[in-house]
Amino acid sequence: MTPRFDALKSKFIQIKQPVRDAVSDTAQVENTVKDIIANVRERGDAAIREYSIAFDKVDVTSFEVTEEEKLKVVADLEPQTREDTEFAIANVRRFAKAQLGTILPLEIESLPGLHLGHRVIPIETVGCYVPGGRYPLLSAPVMTIVPAKVAGCDQVIACLPPNAHPAMIAGCHLAGADRIFRVGGAQAIAAMAYGTETIPAVDKIVGPGNAFVNEAKRQVFGKVGIDQLAGPSEIFVVADETANAFTIATDLLAQAEHDVRTRVGVVTTDRNLAEGILIEVEKQLQNLPTAPVAGVAWNHYGEITVVEDEETMIAYSDHIATEHLQVHTRDPHATAKKLRNYGSIFIGDLASVVYSDKCCGTNHTLPTMGAGRYTGGLWVGSYVKVATHQWLDERGVAAVAPAATRQSATERLEGHRRAAALRLSSNQFAAK
């Protein structure tokens, strides 16, 4: 715990405590994934086919989705589903373009004759992992593929489990994927990292997945870039006495139905609200079709904490650094400005996490497990490199070479000293 949070522990009580730790409950998959990566790296497509049969119960004879197949799955989409998918794509694209507009190239003359700057360069080849999961998450390909296309990546490939819903393939195509492959799990990550006879190696892998996918991303990091290591989904709500227990309970269960290890919680300054939320959650679980999932998540990882004051509420929330943070207070914008650790923040009781999950435009691929303390979520900036450059004329050499020469001599790096001094002598400047 942070010192600030530890000092405030006496100021809160937990109405409901989590009984399990979503992070420590993660399966021990390291060795299994290590073997999968080694096998795919050595045997390529043959290994992928064997894993598809073993894990997905599908014998895939052709991994790449053909153009004819893409057109068919799009044509087979229910019209309203296609319209909603294209609505989401348009919103995500619009926001990504606006974000990209804030990442500007730079040129300055730092000293006379010393020119410094940077370029914004799209990553050449990106691999987007699209999870199959318990439900066909139609927004998943939108969130990873659309920003890559906006960023200007040369090639965007998508991998999804061979038994994924056809609408997921349609979503990959509509979002702009250049190539789509029927391969899931750790074997897909290995294929994108090292390449196979069919699947090209990429420069960066993005997208969420299960524990095996997450572990595979961790193990291939360095050979390729990755966006982040994602754990089970999370939602926390900060609330005061003006909040509505029914609304909060509904939002908590909406997120809890993602996975039995979803972490859901509330921190509030009002005990009556806390007890009301507890009652509402139990009541809504009685008629929620996804209660077998959401109820387990709530029972194991649900949390309701009552604190003395807003300061403690802010400190508690910042300590949790949740993936999704909803703000239900009298002045939610003022409260939001005081919060600093989260993946994405939802300000006011009209801003549901579900809107961002599906279609409003912000990305739903967000940091979990406390990573909101040091990073934000997937965004168009994840698909570009900001690379610096410099050039000097004689005035610039005269300004920086003497200090570089002296420092190199102090460090006893004679090769460095000679390289720095060379430019002084060739330009007929005397070192001081």
Neighbouring C-alpha atoms within 13 Å toward the C-beta of 294? 22
Whether 324 is a known active-site residue: answer yes
Q: Which of 324, 328, 333, 416 is catalytic?
A: 324
Query: Residue for token digits 């960066």?
Result: 204
What would the DSSP string read from start to end of 89-125?
HHHHHHHHHHHHTTS--EEEEEETTEEEEEEEEE-SE
Residue type at 9 in one-letter notation: K
First to last CA, the chain: 53
Whether 300 is a known active-site residue: answer no
Name beta bridge partners: 361: none
What would the DSSP string read from start to end of 261-313?
T-EEEEEES-HHHHHHHHHHHHHHHTT-TTHHHHHHHHHHH-EEEEESSHHHH
Burial of 41 (0-12, 13-18, 19+ CB in 10 A): middle
What is the rounded distance in angstroms from the CA atom of residue 424 to the CA atom of residue 174?
57
What is the rounded distance in angstroms from the CA atom of residue 249 to the CA atom of residue 277?
6
Query: Residue for token digits 């892998």?
Result: 205
Cα–Cα separations (whole angstroms), residue 209 to 114, 197, 227, 273: 46, 24, 12, 35
What is the rounded distance in angstroms from the CA atom of residue 295 to the CA atom of residue 285?
7
What is the rounded distance in angstroms from the CA atom of residue 285 to the CA atom of residue 282?
5
What is the rounded distance in angstroms from the CA atom of residue 266 to the CA atom of residue 396?
57
What is the rounded distance in angstroms from the CA atom of residue 431 to the CA atom of residue 425?
8
Cα–Cα separations (whole angstroms), residue 41 to 32, 156, 190, 229: 14, 21, 7, 22
The three-state secondary structure class of 391 is: strand
Cα pseudo-dihedral 251, 255, 164, 56, rounded to 10: -150
Rg (Cα) of the chain, in Å, rounded? 26
Q: Which of 215, 257, 280, 323 is catalytic?
A: 323
Enzyme catalytic residues: 323-324
